[in-house]
Amino acid sequence: THPIFPWQIKPKNITRLCHTKSIVTVNGKFPGPRVITREGDRLVVKVVNRVPNNISIHWHGVRQLRSGWADGPSYITQCPIQIGHSYVYNFTITGQRGTLFWHAHISWLRATVYGPLII
C-alpha cells in the first residue's frame, strides 16, 4: 500500500499588515504542504474541496507517463473537483529528480494554493 496524503482545500483568515483576509489554503497552510518523494514512488493525494469554487491540482513539471488524467489542468485532462467533492491523484514518479512545485490549476486559486514538490 502507499501512504495517502489527505488535503483539505479550505478557507482560512490570514492577517498581514493589520488587515485580515480570507484566502484558500491546503490543510490551513499557506503555502501548502511540502511533498517529498523519490523516483519510483507512487504519489497518492486525496483532495477534498471545501471552498465554494471548483479546483484542480497541477503537478508542475512532473512527467505523467501513462497517468495523463492526474496532470490537473481543469477541462483539459480532468474535470475540476466540484464543491464538496473529492478526487484522488494517483501516479508514479518516473525518471525525474529535483525540486518542482504543485499548484491549483483553475482561475485565481493558484495565487494561494501551491507548494514545493521535492523528488
Per residue in 57-112, pLDDT (tens digit) is 999 888 777 776 777 677 677 889 999 999 999 999 988 899 999 999 988 888 89
Query: 490549476: which residue's cell?
Result: 105
Q: What are residue 70's phi and psi, to 5 degrees?
A: -95, 5
Q: Are 106 and 56 in contact (CB under 8 A)?
A: yes
For the 4-118 domain, the top CATH level (class) is mainly beta
Q: What is the rounded CA–CA span in Å between residue 49 and residue 87?
A: 9
Whole-number pLDDT of residue 33: 96
For 15-73, how does the pLDDT look when each residue is reduced to its tens digit (9 = 90+)? 989 999 999 999 999 999 999 999 999 999 999 999 999 999 999 888 777 776 777 67
Q: What is the rounded CA–CA span in Å between residue 79 and residue 47?
A: 13
pTM: predicted TM-score of the whole model, two decimal places:
0.89
Whole-number pLDDT of residue 95: 87
Domains of the chain, by residue range, sit at 4-118
